[in-house]
């Protein structure tokens, strides 16, 4: 079939694949499951690829009443983690003809302003981090198809939740330090009201409570290096014996802990071991390099977008938490005086 400069149409794809235009619409709109066979879907996709067919999204959106736009609501972009979440979500969205608008919820300056005149009119759905949940009401995002990231699956406002296996990450950190011989711990906890940080505190307390002779203190800090430094300095000034290990909710908090320990003449890890969580680029910039839990931010974003697409198409999203991995580096070692 020769089109010259004429753009191929869905009818051309249907003729090339030997199917109806309805079948082409179902397959290219990712609504074919249970309505046409896999073999038919493969034929349609191949025909579309051979013809370099691109659907007229503007006309299609008018028919569907969709803008094919998703809002990703995250905390203020203070680390590269949420940039990775955006990258993963945008990659999956693009494969399905959607665009992703990134909306960082401002911190400490009151309610977020609606980035659209009417969120419901301009968006097909929302993916939101629990750390930015307060922004949802302001932009009426909770009245749209909604997927929550890092959120309690039992009490989330969203139609679906997507979580990293943070509980397992905390258990991996605790077991690593316990195996090294540590028994006096300081938990440098993020001073953020969010389910993901509540889980970290709960899991750490539960894991250490099961081992005789352990002590756990908690210091709360904003997610900043200076805030973490001040919190650790206050903890070190207390009359109690100093910790032999500091478990941090975030790599930036760990960097602040390094500063506080060095100001007190303590070496990492000879005097105090330090662990983080996220595996940001910062982790390998510190000296010694930071033992931390690697979170796959891009997979997190991909799964969030896949879950929202499933909700929009009336399907049940994939279940199960995303695995995480402990990365052991130079910031952790046996406590001073422990047997080799």
Instruction: Quote the domain boundaries for residue 16.
Output: 10-55
Same domain membership, residue 281 and residue 191: yes
Does residue 336 sit within a domain? no
Q: Are residues 287 and 249 in the same domain?
A: yes
Asked if residue 217 is part of any domain, the answer here is yes
Residue 330 placed within a domain: no
Task: Say yes or no: 206 and 289 in one domain.
Answer: yes
Whether 157 and 175 map to the same domain: the answer is: no
123, part of any domain: yes
Nearest to 46 by CA among 23, 16, 20, 4: 16
In a shared domain, residues 255 and 155: no
Asked whether residue 321 is domain-assigned, the answer is no
Render each residue's pLDDT in the chain as its tens digit; 340 residues. 444 446 788 788 889 999 887 888 788 777 777 788 888 889 988 988 888 876 654 444 434 446 788 988 888 656 689 889 999 999 999 988 889 988 776 553 344 455 554 444 577 888 988 877 666 666 655 567 889 898 888 877 667 899 999 999 999 999 999 999 999 999 999 998 888 899 999 999 999 998 999 999 999 999 889 999 999 999 999 998 999 999 999 999 999 999 999 999 999 999 999 999 999 999 999 999 999 999 999 999 999 999 999 988 888 888 889 999 999 999 999 998 665 4
Q: Would the pTM of this model clear 0.85, i.e. be above it?
A: no
Same domain (yes/no): 182, 281 = yes
| CATH for 48 | 1.10.260
Q: Would 303 be classed as within a structural domain?
A: yes
| Residues 44 and 152 both lie in one domain | no
- Residue 38 shares a structural domain with residue 92: no
The answer to whether position 235 is within a domain reads yes
Q: Are 147 and 290 members of one domain?
A: no
CATH code, domain with 80: 3.40.50.2300
Say whether both 144 and 171 belong to one domain. no
The answer to the question of residue 178 being in a domain is yes
If asked whether residues 301 and 155 sit together in one domain, one would say: yes
pLDDT at 31: 73
Which of 128, 149, 175, 172 lies closest to 279 in space, CA to CA?
172
Say yes or no: 31 and 73 in one domain: no
Q: Give the pLDDT of residue 103.
A: 79
pLDDT at 316 (0 to 100): 84
Among residues 94, 99, 269, 103, the alpha carbon closest in space to that of 258 is found at 269
Nearest alpha carbon to residue 100 among 117, 83, 75: 83
pLDDT at position 50, please? 87
pLDDT of residue 137: 64
Give residue 58's pLDDT: 43
Q: Tell me how many domains the chain contains.
A: 3
Q: What is the pLDDT, as a whole number, of residue 142?
A: 58
């Amino acid at each position: 079939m020769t089109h010259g400069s004429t753009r191929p149409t869905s009818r051309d794809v249907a003729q090339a694949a030997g199917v109806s235009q309805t079948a082409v619409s179902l397959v290219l709109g990712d609504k074919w499951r249970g309505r046409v066979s896999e073999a038919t879907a493969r034929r349609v996709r191949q025909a579309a690829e051979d013809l370099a067919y691109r659907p007229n999204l503007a006309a299609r959106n008018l028919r569907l009443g969709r803008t094919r736009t998703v809002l990703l609501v995250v905390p203020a972009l203070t680390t590269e983690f949420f940039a990775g979440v955006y990258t993963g979500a945008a990659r999956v969205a693009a494969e399905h003809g959607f665009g992703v608008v990134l909306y960082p919820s401002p911190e400490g300056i009151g309610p977020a302003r609606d980035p659209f005149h009417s969120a419901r009119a301009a968006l097909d759905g929302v993916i939101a981090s629990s750390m930015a949940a307060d922004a949802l009401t302001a932009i009426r995002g909770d009245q749209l198809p909604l997927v929550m990231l890092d959120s309690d699956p039992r009490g989330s406002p969203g139609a679906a939740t997507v979580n990293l296996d943070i509980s397992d990450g905390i258990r991996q950190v605790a077991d690593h330090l316990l195996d090294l011989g540590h028994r006096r711990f300081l938990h440098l906890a993020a001073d953020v009201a969010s389910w993901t940080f509540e889980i970290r505190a709960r899991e750490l307390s539960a894991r250490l409570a099961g081992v005789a002779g352990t002590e756990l203190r908690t210091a709360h800090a904003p997610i900043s290096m200076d805030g973490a430094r001040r919190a650790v300095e206050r903890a070190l000034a207390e009359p109690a014996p100093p910790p032999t290990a500091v478990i941090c909710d975030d790599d930036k908090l760990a960097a602040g802990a390094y500063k506080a320990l060095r100001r007190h003449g303590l070496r990492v890890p000879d005097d105090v071991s330090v662990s983080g969580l996220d595996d940001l680029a910062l982790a390998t910039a510190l000296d010694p390099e930071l033992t931390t839990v690697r979170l796959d931010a891009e997979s997190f974003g991909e799964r969030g977008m896949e879950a929202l697409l499933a909700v929009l198409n009336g399907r049940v999203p994939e279940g199960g938490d995303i695995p995480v991995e402990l990365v052991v580096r130079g910031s952790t070692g046996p406590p001073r005086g422990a047997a080799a």
